[in-house]
């Protein structure tokens, strides 16, 4: 059943997708950064009504460096789609999905603070899991795990 849905989605993608293949039961669509918003608009129109998750993967040795990954679920077809795109370190920017999904506002805040991906159109990218004033993006591979930056300084002689 899911194959039929995937075929229909794939045929409706047109030139928005660079590649689309099924992997582990999920349709994986590669898109350009500019193509993500129209692509997702089309996905939403074809029944992918739930925006599950957005995150990024950091590949420091590759260019463009960051892979931004979105997951969508259709409560009618009961299948998932993954949309991926690549953005460069110099301009880690993609379009926000706040206009399409209510859940985007919160989840984009997390991706922004962890990877430094900017979501154009989301005007509330305040820190969420981290604290105000945290320097750097902790889930990037070049952020050392041992690095400390306590909000409240250690007492003298304690460290």
| Site of interaction with other proteins (CB under 8 A) | 23-24, 26, 49-53, 55, 57, 69, 71, 73, 75, 78-80, 82, 101-103, 105-107, 110, 114, 124, 126-133, 138-139, 143, 145, 151-152
The minimum distance between CB 52 and other proteins, in angstroms, equals 6
d(CA 12, CA 9): 5
Closer of 15 and 150 to other proteins (Cβ) = 150
Closer of 49 and 93 to other proteins (Cβ) = 49
Give 16's contacts (C-beta < 8 A, 6+ positions apart): 31, 35, 38, 39, 42
The minimum distance between CB 111 and other proteins, in angstroms, equals 10
Closer of 13 and 101 to other proteins (Cβ) = 101
The minimum distance between CB 14 and other proteins, in angstroms, equals 25
DSSP string, 24-59: TTEEEEEE-GGGHHHHHHHHHHTT--EEEEEEEEE-
Closer of 133 and 157 to other proteins (Cβ) = 133
- Report phi then psi at 115, rounded to 5: -120, -10
d(CA 42, CA 17): 12
The minimum distance between CB 23 and other proteins, in angstroms, equals 7
């Amino acid at each position: 059943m899911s194959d039929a849905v995937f075929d229909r989605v794939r045929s409706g993608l047109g030139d928005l997708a660079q590649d689309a293949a099924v992997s582990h039961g999920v349709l994986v669509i590669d898109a350009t950064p500019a193509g993500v918003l129209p692509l997702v608009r089309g996905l939403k129109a074809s029944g992918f009504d739930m925006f599950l998750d957005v995150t990024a993967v950091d590949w420091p040795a590759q260019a463009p460096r960051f892979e931004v990954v979105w997951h969508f679920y259709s409560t009618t077809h009961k299948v998932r789609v993954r949309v991926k795109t690549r953005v460069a370190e110099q301009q880690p920017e993609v379009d926000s999905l706040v206009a399409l999904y209510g859940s985007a506002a919160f989840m984009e805040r997390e991706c922004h603070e962890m990877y430094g991906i900017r979501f154009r159109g989301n005007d509330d990218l305040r820190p969420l899991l981290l604290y105000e004033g945290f320097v750097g993006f902790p889930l990037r591979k070049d952020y050392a795990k041992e690095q400390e930056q306590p909000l409240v300084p250690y007492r003298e002689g304690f460290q």
